[in-house]
Structure 1
Amino acid sequence: MHLDHAHHGPSAVSADARRPDGSRRALRIGLGGPVGSGKTATVAALCRALRDELSLAVVTNDIYTREDAEFLLREAVLPPERITAVETGACPHTAIRDDISANLEAVEDLEDEVGPLDLILVESGGDNLTATFSRGLVDAQIFVIDVAGGDDIPRKGGPGVTTADLLVVNKTDLAPYVGSDLARMAADAEAQRAQLPVILQSLRGGTGVADVAAWVRGRLAAWTA
């Protein structure tokens, strides 16, 4: 199920939209969400869907490891030089919202080393429903939850659920096995998010991935217009 609305959030415009040499920098999209919701798998799926048409790269965040980056490398979703990792050493939201310097350095280094880039995906380490990205780091953000976390998650809200530019309800194929009501989750998400879009996704079943990729293309089109 894809719940889309006429309003798609603010246009992708940033005060620092250009690099020091005057060229337009890459669009930066952040992906956040609780541990195990499927953020890294969603990043991998987006890379596969977009890599033949866009020049893109990925920054991952983990507290003490580079596990998410290593997963992407094993899956060979992009050439190794287009994937980099930040070890936050603290709560994941700190590096994407409070002190974004390490992530800013990582995205700028990627543009210097493998650019020009169209898109950089910045994946947060697993956090809770309050995790949001600084607008000084990303131009738009996707928040990923999953049905195994409980079908009351959209109703509980929190900044990630209510304010992210796109909400992805992941692992819908598991709903019959964990007792989650997808229709209820969709209705609650729509009520919480007003006119912001919601996409129900199953990476195993292949549903929703194309819709998320299309949303990314739309943000990129706004960015480059």
Structure 2
Amino acid sequence: MHLDHSETFPERHTYSADPLRPDGSRRALRVGLGGPVGSGKTATVAALCRTLRDRWRIAAVTNDIYTREDAEYLLREAVLPPERITAVETGACPHTAIRDDISANLEAVEHLEETLHPLDLVLVESGGDNLTATFSKGLVDVQIFVIDVASGDDIPRKGGPGITTADLLIINKTDLAPHVGADLDTMAIDAKRQRGDLPVIFTHLTSDDGIREVADWVTGHLAQWRAGAAV
């Protein structure tokens, strides 16, 4: 079920991972955001939309098990026009809808691309899950995994596919570190040990520039994508 789209979707083209649309034009870059409950995924999506919307044509797809809370938050915050925000109710563990059976999300993404063409960027936010949550490469082109300082500074060293293999790891809510006794240097060392050369960005979204480094990372991938290079 999709927010604000009660009608039946048209037949899907299912070009999925193909970078080109059926008409030969380049489709939007698809960026997946996953991570545990409460890590700040929706706030990250909102901040990215605010920062990038004046330069890029953006749409967003959110996933929740039985509600539309995340999409409704984005609508209340007016981060994008309403027609650019769609919700998927997964009805099961969120990771199933982004990794195992991606049909509902793929349908939502392709519907946005058909009705709003041209788009530059589609952000697909998974519902809160655990450290194993990963996206199918048939659904997104790059994956961001979000964890937060308040959950403990041992989270990076616990590993899991989300932490070890995501294209970007965000360690969020760094402003809370002094209040929860988290050591950011330890988190950085553990993240480096788990991820090697894959990037890690520390963020807190209480400042206007808190998302800037992440936005620059996304912009870099967008530039590569539009140039026809692999991301």
Q: TM-score range by the shorter chain?
A: over 0.9
Kept in 2: contact 1:31–1:143 (CA 8 A): yes
Kept in 1: contact 2:149–2:177 (CA 8 A): yes
- Which residue is equivalent to 1:179? 181
SS of aligned partner of 1:19 = coil
- Which residue is equivalent to 1:73? 75
Kept in 2: contact 1:199–1:208 (CA 8 A): no
Specify the code of the residue in structure 1 equivalent to 2:176: L
CA distance in 2, matches of 1:52, 1:165: 25
Kept in 1: contact 2:17–2:141 (CA 8 A): no
Confirm or deny that 1:135 pairs with 2:137: yes
**Inter-CA distance 189–207: structure 2 relative to 1 (3 Å threshold):** farther
Q: Which has the higher contact order (CA 8 A, sep 6+)?
A: 1
What is the number of equivalent residue pairs in this alignment? 212
User: Structure 1, residues 135-169: CA drift from partner, whole Å, max 9, x if none?
Assistant: 00000000000001100000111000000000000
Q: Which runs of 5+ in 2 are unaligned?
A: 1-15
- Which residue is equivalent to 2:128? 126
User: Structure 1, residues 162-215: CA drift from partner, whole Å, max 9, x if none?
Assistant: 000000000000001111101110111111100000000010134541000000
CA distance in 2, matches of 1:200, 1:208: 9
Kept in 2: contact 1:37–1:145 (CA 8 A): yes
Q: How does 1:4-153 map to 2 (within 5 A)?
A: 16-153=18-155
Confirm or deny that 1:194 pairs with 2:196: yes
Q: What is the identity percentage for the equivalent residue pairs of Structure 1 and Structure 2?
A: 78
- Which residue is equivalent to 1:205? 207
SS of aligned partner of 1:77 = coil
CA distance in 2, matches of 1:21, 1:34: 38
